Structure 1
Amino acid sequence: MARKNVVFGFLGTQLDYVGKMNRWEKWRPTVSLCQQDDLIVDELVLFHDNRSKPLFETVKKDVAQVSPETSVKSELMNLKNPWDFEEVYGTLYDFFSKQHYDLKGCNYLAHMTTGTHVAQICLFLLTESRKHPGKLIQTSPKRRNEKNRETGSYQIIDLDLSKYDKLATRLVEEQQEAQDFLKSGISTHNAAFNQLIEEIELVSLRSNAPLLLTGPTGAGKSQLASRIYELRQQRSALEGQFVEVNCATLRGDMAMGALFGHKKGAFTGANGDRKGLLREAHKGLLFLDEIGELGLDEQAMLLRAVEEGKWLPVGSDTTVKSSFQLIAGTNKDLRHEVAEGRFREDLLARINLWTFTLPGLAERREDIAPNIDYELKKLRQRTGNSVSFNKEAQEAFLSFAISNNSPWLGNFRDLNAAITRMATFAPRGRIRIEEVQAEIKRLEHAWQRPSKADTPAAQLENHLDARQVEKIDPFDRPQLANVIQVCKESNNLSEAGRKLFVVSRQQRKSTNDGDRLRKYLAKFNLSFSEIV
């Protein structure tokens, strides 16, 4: 069974009205809608006011003549001002909200040709948002040299743009351009990272809610936040500036003043009024890097600023306002910080609607090669000098870089520093195997970390149980740990004593360093033989 076609539209007080005489010789959009050979309108609902009742009756009678199967219904809509967007949209919204739609049995169409421009825009918006769950239909007269010009033609418009091949292609291209922009033009290959960027692109352009960027230091949180701002600014979504601050640099009263502003004399060092970073970011984007370093008092004020857009500057009785988008960055697990009482749970709940975790460089080894090219390009832009690898050097460095033995602890900061150093030492802008080998040694040395067994605390734990350590004053623990380490590095008790008492033994006439050391160890129930 064929589905019924139900059309909603405005009665055209000008286009549908052509006088009493010769009205069949002119094109009338509402009547034309029902004159199409390949479109049967089963039900036509016309919006009009009281003054247009006579015109409605005329159009209804004419529709019955050209399309007897069409049921024409009147919907009174007495608008005070048909050019007032809020009134027109609200009235249509209420109307469509009350309708009972039979989506299985009916096709719903909204006629876009009649009514004021405001009415047409409102019909478009309500159809796009699916409040009117159908498509748009547009009628138009035929050209002057065509026969039966009064019947005109029609076009059905489906707002699902993915069904239009050329438009869909353009939309995909635009989306890809935005994603490439967020990646700084780097052709990344890591599937998880690319999917992450796709999600960030969609959220950045569709939501004003706070974003939380997590991940290790050097993973690129700051650069990504800056790129998100630039992308949104290009799309006219932001008018203000990009304001960035590392919360680890904010301490005490200065932290409050820096973020929220202060009045002159509010605290020691407040020599004048200060606007504050939140107000500087008005209509722009505020990036709070290392947000986990903020104090609890600053967190409380930030929560109010994000939720209400207002706060009290330090030393002021007057509330100030600012509208900004917040991006927060952290390398900490804020859930753990909440559990430890160092981060407010309500603030975390407010900022983690959109949380994205950036992987470290070691998790994206397939992206190291394009990032090396990117670093060389940045270096050229920054210095004006073109630098490149010779083939042997490039293969050697890339082999080292993508190896699982390279932890890249500093992530992209390590990579940037490595490229900068090799480029600086490269003769005539050509990085050779010599520069690569030297840089590999530097990185391997930088990535070395002391073993836990070498720490003073570990030295005590190796020779004393926890209860014994607790009975030793914290003041004495580092000294004892050092004594144990010297003993382990010495061949005998006397040698260890000479190393430990090298200064004080010069002031004694007779010395027995070994005996002094033996007595010191005995205080803690230790002996040289037990240690070594």
Structure 2
Amino acid sequence: MRKKTVVMGFIGSQLDSGQGAGRWEKWRPTVSLAQHEDVVIDRLELFHSPAHRALVDRVVEDIASVSPGTEVRPIEMPIADPWDFGEVYGALYDWTRRYRFNPDREQYWAHITTGTHVAQICMFLLVESRAIPGVLLQTSPPKRQAHGNPGSYALIDLDLSRYDALARRFEAEQRDAVDFLKSGIATRNPRFNALIDEIERVAVRSRAPILLTGPTGAGKSHLARRMFELKKSRHQMNGEFVEVNCATLQGDGAASTLFGHKKGSFTGAAADRAGLLRTAHEGVLFLDEIGELGLDEQAMLLKAVEEKRFFPMGSDREVTSDFQLIAGTNRDLRIDVAAGRFREDLYARINLWSYTLPGLAQRPEDLEPNIDHLLARAGAESGRAVRFSAEAKAMYLRFAQSPAALWAGNFRDLSASVTRLATLADGGRIDTTLVEAELQRLRWHWQHAGDAASSEAAIELEALLGSEALESLDLFDRMQLESVLRVCRESKTLSDAGRKLFHRSRTQRSVLNDADRLRKYLQKYGLTWDAISA
């Protein structure tokens, strides 16, 4: 069954006009729609202003004379200013909401040859957004004017999924954006890669606040700056990237630094100050460690984020700043909200897009590409190529991916370690002697963090096993169990923990049963994964 063809478009106040028989010698785009021999227009929805009703009546008569089977429905749109985008789009959008589209039985063509340029743009947007479930129709006059010559027409489908070449270009652009956010590092951790994929889409599509959580050194500041640079490259930002660590803001200086002040508003305010929120106008404001802000500053920040305006200290006049907020914290703000240290309304406002960046110890498969990246960067800065020997790299990676490597400072620790190795590498070659010395330095550096982790593990063991069962364990078994629990605590699932704990031996087995091996080990002490994860 043939679908009916329905065309919708504006009357052409100039192009469709004409009097007497001579009008047939002129190309009139709306009338020409019904003159094509290879297409049947079943219905024409003809938009017009009240002032052009007489012209519409004549066009209706002329279409009836050349195509009696075409139904023309005049639709009056009382638009006061046809060049007002908001008014035109609103009128058309309201009409599409009322119109009963039936794509199963009808196909829709939006005629964009007639009407003002504003009307044509609005028709384009409505088709592109699928408010009009059809395609664009562009008509053109004949090269030589002649009676009955309808000219030509072209259909433009805005469904980009139909254009393989365009789809590939958009996919490539998204891959480039994701690589940019990752600084070109070929990360391998599936959860981290999925996280960055979503952040890329949010970064280029939204100006809403974004909350980045994660341990110190996980890369929150770096990612926030890369998000800004990505938006800047897409011409979505005109301002600058402004970063401040809220832990450094104290007393009156906190409000002054963020919101500015008027001269004389407090002791030491010798001149007016704009404040960082105004500096970030049309750019990004990154507030690291936002949980350190005082409650008064939190209230002022909420107003600035929601209303884009605020009062500088000592001023009776509001100022405006349109910025995007990216917040960072290594704390669980939910706990701070429950304790009254962080405003619940501000947390709700900045938690629309919330992402937790995993620590380096949770991404062991990403250590090697990050080491390669840092080594290449160190070589570029020093002006000489630096490389590991095969044995040295294997030794370094074996330690770096083991539970003994705490990476307490995350990427800061890794960057410092690679920098030391690159600096000390004679002839640009990192050998096993250098690596062994570096591993001793890292162990010493993490000794206090390891002691703290062991203390936590001991407390956890007593809670899980009870004091009597804990005292009955040999020191060897106790230390081993504490280490296993630490890995479990840093893992999301039993399988994830098993992969980490049996990383080396699993390559020697044909059947991978890491989760089962770990489950049986825990059962030996009456422990379950649910009890540990709880």
In structure 2, C-alpha distance between the alignment counterparts of 1:78 and 1:312, rounded to whole Å: 43
Displacement, 1:303?
1.2
Listed one character per residue, the Cα deviations across residues 36-73 of structure 1 (whole Å, up to 9, x for unaligned) are 44432211011223453443333323322333221011
Listed one character per residue, the Cα deviations across residues 278-327 of structure 1 (whole Å, up to 9, x for unaligned) are 11111111000011111222211111111122222223333222111100
Listed one character per residue, the Cα deviations across residues 145-175 of structure 1 (whole Å, up to 9, x for unaligned) are 9x99923333322222111111111111111
The 1:193–1:144 alpha-carbon spacing in structure 2 relative to 1, beyond 3 Å, is farther
The 1:149–1:175 alpha-carbon spacing in structure 2 relative to 1, beyond 3 Å, is farther
CA RMSD of aligned residues (A): 2.6
Alignment correspondent of 2:203: 204
Asked if residue 345 in structure 1 is aligned to residue 344 in structure 2, the reply is: yes
Taking the TM superposition and a 5 Å limit, the aligned residue runs for 1:193-232 are 193-232=192-231
In structure 2, C-alpha distance between the alignment counterparts of 1:316 and 1:407, rounded to whole Å: 49
Displacement, 1:266?
3.3
Listed one character per residue, the Cα deviations across residues 68-101 of structure 1 (whole Å, up to 9, x for unaligned) are 2210111223444323323322332333233233
Contact 1:263–1:316 under 8 Å retained in 2: yes
Contact 1:143–1:149 under 8 Å retained in 2: no
In structure 2, C-alpha distance between the alignment counterparts of 1:451 and 1:178, rounded to whole Å: 40
In structure 2, C-alpha distance between the alignment counterparts of 1:99 and 1:13, rounded to whole Å: 24
Displacement, 1:141?
4.1
Listed one character per residue, the Cα deviations across residues 188-229 of structure 1 (whole Å, up to 9, x for unaligned) are 222211211121111111111100001111111000000111
Give the secondary structure class of the aligned counterpart of 2:299.
Answer: helix
In structure 2, C-alpha distance between the alignment counterparts of 1:190 and 1:230, rounded to whole Å: 24
Taking the TM superposition and a 5 Å limit, the aligned residue runs for 1:439-450 are 439-448=438-447, 449-450=450-451
Displacement, 1:119?
1.1
Contact 2:237–2:283 under 8 Å retained in 1: yes
After TM superposition, the structure 1 stretch with the greater mean CA deviation from structure 2, 371-380 or 409-418, is 371-380
In structure 1, C-alpha distance between the alignment counterparts of 2:39 and 2:362, rounded to whole Å: 58
Alignment correspondent of 1:252: 251
Asked if residue 421 in structure 1 is aligned to residue 420 in structure 2, the reply is: yes
Q: How many residues were matched structurally?
A: 457
Contact 2:35–2:148 under 8 Å retained in 1: no
Contact 1:28–1:150 under 8 Å retained in 2: no
Give the secondary structure class of the aligned counterpart of 1:45.
Answer: strand
In structure 2, C-alpha distance between the alignment counterparts of 1:178 and 1:454, rounded to whole Å: 43
Taking the TM superposition and a 5 Å limit, the aligned residue runs for 1:31-430 are 31-141=31-141, 150-430=149-429
Contact 2:5–2:106 under 8 Å retained in 1: yes
Displacement, 1:379?
1.9
The 1:291–1:394 alpha-carbon spacing in structure 2 relative to 1, beyond 3 Å, is same
In structure 1, C-alpha distance between the alignment counterparts of 2:19 and 2:187, rounded to whole Å: 67
In structure 2, C-alpha distance between the alignment counterparts of 1:400 and 1:262, rounded to whole Å: 52
Taking the TM superposition and a 5 Å limit, the aligned residue runs for 1:449-528 are 449-450=450-451
In structure 1, C-alpha distance between the alignment counterparts of 2:29 and 2:104, rounded to whole Å: 28
After TM superposition, the structure 1 stretch with the greater mean CA deviation from structure 2, 65-74 or 116-125, is 65-74
In structure 1, C-alpha distance between the alignment counterparts of 2:56 and 2:303, rounded to whole Å: 55
When normalised by structure 2's length, the TM-score is 0.79
After TM superposition, the structure 1 stretch with the greater mean CA deviation from structure 2, 320-329 or 22-31, is 22-31
Displacement, 1:232?
1.0
Give the secondary structure class of the aligned counterpart of 1:371.
Answer: helix
Alignment correspondent of 1:517: none
In structure 1, C-alpha distance between the alignment counterparts of 2:119 and 2:262, rounded to whole Å: 51
Contact 2:391–2:432 under 8 Å retained in 1: yes
In structure 1, C-alpha distance between the alignment counterparts of 2:328 and 2:243, rounded to whole Å: 11
> What code does the residue aligned with 1:298 have?
E
Give the secondary structure class of the aligned counterpart of 2:35.
Answer: coil
Displacement, 1:341?
1.6
Identical columns (%): 58
> What code does the residue aligned with 1:137 have?
L
After TM superposition, the structure 1 stretch with the greater mean CA deviation from structure 2, 408-417 or 149-158, is 149-158
Listed one character per residue, the Cα deviations across residues 80-127 of structure 1 (whole Å, up to 9, x for unaligned) are 432332332233233323323334332222111111211101111222
User: Of the two, which has the highest radius of gyration?
Assistant: 1
The 1:178–1:143 alpha-carbon spacing in structure 2 relative to 1, beyond 3 Å, is farther
Give the secondary structure class of the aligned counterpart of 2:451.
Answer: coil
What 5-or-longer segments of structure 2 have no aligned partner?
463-534
After TM superposition, the structure 1 stretch with the greater mean CA deviation from structure 2, 159-168 or 389-398, is 389-398
Displacement, 1:422?
0.4
